A and B are shown apart, each in its own frame.
Chain A
Amino acid sequence: MKKLLTLSCAVCALSGSVALSQDLVFEPGDDDRFDWDSYNALKSDEFAGQSIRVFGPWLGQDRVLVESVIDYFEAATGITVDYSGSDSFEQQVVIDAEAGSPPDIGVFPQPGLAAELARKGQLKPLAEGTEHWIVDNYAAGESWAQYGNYLGPDGETHQYGFPFKADVKSLVWYVPENFEDAGYEVPETMEDLKTLTEQIAEDGETPWCIGLGSGGATGWPATDWVEDMMLRNNSPEDYDAWVKNELPFDDPKVIAAIEDYGWFSRQDDFVSGGAQAIASIDFRDSPKGLFDFPPQCYLHKQASFIPSFFPDGVEIGTDVDFFYLPAYADKDLGQPVLGAGTIFAQLTDNPVNAAFFEFLESPIAHEVWMAQRGFLTPYTKANADVYGDPTLKKMGDILTSATTFRFDGSDLMPGSIGAGAFWTGMVDYASGKSARDVAQQIQQQWNTLK
C-alpha cells in the first residue's frame, strides 16, 4: 500500500506541474485575424476575485478546448471560472438544481431539458436584449433565438438560453478517390443522390453505411435522417409544428419523411450489412466501412463530429471529404440545414454571470475555439478566416449560408419522445415495421403526455 501511495504522489506531482502552465493559446494582439478589440473591451475589474461555477457535458479533449476559451475570460476580468464536465450532465444538473446546489451556468446539449428547468423556475432569464442580439448577430438568428426562448414559471416566455457552439448534421461523408476510381460525381440535388445510390447498387457495390447502435440511445442516428428528410419534403413551418406535436406524428407528411429515409435504409442492396443489420451496428463503427478496400460503402451521413471516429491518420479533405445532403430540386424548399448546438443558461442570480454572457457575445470567445478544433458558430461577426482547418470553414459556410436552419427535432421534443419513443420507433422501423405503425406508436406515446 505504501508503495502505491508513493507512486500516486509521484503521479500527482507530475500532473500538478502540467496544470500550472495556464497560458493563453493565442497571444493577445499577435494575430490580426482575431478581434482583439473585443477582447480588450472585456477588460474590467468590477468582479475581479469572484468566481462562478460552469457545468457542462464536455469531457476530455473537449474540456481542454472549452477551458482554453474560458482562460481569456479569466484573464480579462480576473473572475475565476470553475468548469466541470460530466457525461451524465442531463441527470446531474437536474439533481443539483432540485437539491438547491445548482451551478451558476449550465451548458445544455438539449434545449428540451433547458425548457423543462425553465418551466420549473430553475433557470433565470438572461439580460434584456439578449434575444435581439441573437436575432441580429447569428445567421438564421430567429431560429437560434427560439432555441433559448422558453416558457417561464410565470407563464410568459423569456430568453433563458444563449446558443454557443453549433454542429451541422446535414452532411454526407465520402472518399473522393473512391468516387474517382468508380467514376461517380458528387450529387447536387436529392434526385441526383438517389440516382447515384441506384447506380452504385447496380455496379454491384454498396452505397451506404448506416449504424444506429449507441448503447442506451440506440436509434438516434435514424432520427437525424428523418429530421433531414422532413426538412426536404415539408416546409420549415411544418417541421416546427411537428416538433411541438401540432402536426401529429402519424400525419401523412411525417410518414412520407420516414419512408423517404426508408428508401435509403430499408433496401438490402443499399446498405452495408443489409437493411436489418443497421440497428446492431454501432454508429461509431459504421463510418469505418468507407475506409475498407474494397470499400464496404461509398456514402455515410453523419454530423460534423464524426471525424473523431475515423481511423488514425485519415486526413479530411484528402482521404475523406463531405458534401451537403442536398435538397430536392423540384420542391423549392431552399437549402435547409439541420443542426444542433449547446445552450448556455444561468441557474443562479449571481451578478457575475452577466459578465460571462457578455464574454460569449464577443467575437473573441468564438474565434479562439474556431481557430482550434471542433467548433462551428453561426455568429456572423466572428472572422471565418480563423477556422483551424479548411474543413471547419467549409462546414461553417454551410451553416452561415443556410436559408433555413432547424435544430435537431428530437432534442426539442419532450424527453420521453425525443430521447425515448422516437429512438425505439426507429429501431422497430429498421427491423421491418411499417412507417405508419411506427408513427402511430410514437403518437400514442405522445398522447399519454398531454
Chain B
Amino acid sequence: MDNIAGTRARLTWAVNLTAICLVVLWTIPTFGLLVSSFRNADQIASSGWWDALFATQSVDYKRAEGADAQVREGDTYVIAGDLLQDGKLSSWGISSRAPAAYQPGEVVDVDEGQQLTVQEDGSYRITSSNRFEGRRGMRIFLTTSVPPDFTLENYDRVVTAEGLGRAFLNTMTVTIPATVIPILVAAFAAYALAWMQFPGRAILVACVVGLLVVPLQVSLIPLLKLHNAIGLGKGYMGIWLAHTAFGLPLAIYLLRNYMVGLPKEVIESARVDGATEFQIFRRIILPLSFPALASFAIFQFLWVWNDLLVATVFLGNSQDQLVMTGVLRELLGSRGGDWEILAASAFISISVPLIVFFAMQKYLVRGLLAGSVKGG
C-alpha cells in the first residue's frame, strides 16, 4: 500500500513531462512558420528555418564587368571592379565545378594570356595581353559567410496587397452575422428540445445528431440551386443562410446538451410561479448557458473566418466580393508554392481570431465541457 502514493506522485510527474513535451512538439511547427515568415523565398528554398538563426556559408557567383569596361594599361588590357558591397570572401573560383578552388589574393591563369586575381574584400582584376571581347562578363564564384538575415518584406507584401482592406470588411460582413444568427436560432431550438414537452422530440434530436455527419460539400450544389431558384442568388444573404445552416446541427446539439444539464428545480419552480416559456428561456436559461454560447461562438467565428470554400461558392470570386482567405490565396499566384507569403499571411490572418479567442477564453475553458457531462 505504501508505494501506491509513491506511484501516483511519479505518475503525475510523468504526466506533466508528457504534457510539456506535447506542447513543445505542437509549438515547434508554428515557431518554424514564424521564423520562415521573416525569410525570403530563396532563403526558404536553400536552407531550413533552423539554420536561419546562424551564419551560413553561401556559394554564389557574381559577374565581372564585360569588355565595355576594359582599360588599356600599357600593353595589357585590364578589367577591374568590386564583387562585394561589404563583407569578406573566404575562397573563390572560376568554374562551377570547383567554385572554391582558390584563396583570396591568388593569381590564376584563366585563358591564354589572361590572368585573374580576387582579393578578400571582393575587388578583382583581370589582365590580358589581348583585347577583351564579348558583352557578357565572366562568372566569378565566391564563398562568403552570410549572417542571419531577416526581412519584413513578406508582411509588407501581404499587408499592402491590393484589395486586402476591402476583403477584411467583406470577411467581417460575412463572419459577424454568420456567427450571431446560428446562435440565436440554436438557442431557441436547444431550449425547446431540452425543456419543452411535445411529441417527436426525441426523433428531432436524433435528426439533428444525424445531420452532424453530413459533409457540407455534398450540399453545395443543391443549396446554391435553391438560392438561385428563390431569387437569392449569390450574395451576403445567401452566405449568412448557408453558414447558419451548416453551423446549426453542432450548435443545437451542443447547446441542448448543456441546457439539459441545468438543474430541473430552477425551471420547475419558475413554471410554478407562472413564468411563460419565453420568460424562462430569457431570464433563466440564457444567462445560465452563457459558457456554452460563448464556446460555440468561438467555434463558429473561427470556422467562418477561415472559410474559403463556402465563401467562393455562395459569394463569388470577383474582386469586390473576395474574403480575406481569397485575397491571401491570390497572393500565392496561379501555381501556389510561395511559402514565404503563406507563412506571413498565416500570422496576419490569425490575429483577429486570436483577439476573439483571448477575449472569450475564460468562457471557452468552461464551455469545452459543455454537453459532455450530464448535470456537470
Contact = CB atoms under 8 A, between A and B. Distances in A.
Interface string A299-322: 000000100110110000010000
A11 B165 contact: yes
Interface in A39-89: 53, 55, 57-63, 82-88
B333 interface: yes
A311 B162 contact: no
B125 interface: no
Contacts of A311: 41-42, 45
Given A57-B334, A95-B220, A294-B97, A312 B228 contact: no
A205 to B, nearest CB: 8
Contacts of B331: 60
B313 A92 contact: yes
Interface in B167-197: 168-169
A100 interface: yes
Contacts of B164: 8, 11, 15
B24 interface: no
Interface stretch (B27-35, B264-272, B286-294, B316-324): B316-324
A92 B312 contact: yes
B113 interface: no
A276 to B, nearest CB: 21
A283 to B, nearest CB: 9
A313 B222 CA distance: 49
Interface stretch (A174-182, A362-370, A418-426): A174-182
A86 B312 contact: yes
Interface string A80-113: 0011111110001001101111000000000000
A312 B162 CA distance: 22
B374 to A, nearest CB: 37
A253 interface: no
Nearest to B341: A60
Interface string A207-233: 000000001000000000000000000
B334 A84 contact: no
B98 interface: yes
A49 B208 CA distance: 49
A293 to B, nearest CB: 4
A-side interface size class = 35 or more
A311 B337 CA distance: 13
B88 interface: no
B256 to A, nearest CB: 31
A140 B97 CA distance: 42
Interface string B319-343: 1010000000111111111000000
Contacts, number: 135
A59 B330 contact: yes
Contacts of B98: 294
Given A85-B330, A181-B96, A293-B61, A99 B317 contact: no
B139 A177 contact: yes
A79 to B, nearest CB: 16
B376 to A, nearest CB: 34
B97 A10 contact: no
B124 interface: no
B337 A62 contact: no
Interface string B84-101: 000000000001111100
Nearest to B356: A1
Contacts of B60: 293
Contact of B333 (A59, A205, A215): A59
B166 A95 contact: no
A308 B333 contact: yes
Contacts of B169: 8-9, 12
A312 B41 contact: yes
Given A59-B333, A92-B312, A181-B95, A312 B225 contact: no
Contacts of B316: 84
B99 to A, nearest CB: 4
B353 interface: no
Contacts of A449: none
A288 interface: yes
Nearest to B164: A11
A9 B167 CA distance: 11
A18 B319 CA distance: 13
Interface of A: 4, 7-16, 18-19, 53, 55, 57-63, 82-88, 92, 95-96, 98-101, 175, 177-178, 181-182, 205, 215, 282, 284-285, 288, 292-295, 305, 308-309, 311-312, 318
6 contacts: A7-B165, A10-B165, A12-B168, A95-B313, A101-B228, A312-B41
Given A8-B165, A87-B332, 11 more contacts: A11-B165, A12-B165, A12-B168, A14-B165, A57-B334, A84-B317, A84-B321, A99-B224, A182-B97, A284-B337, A311-B45
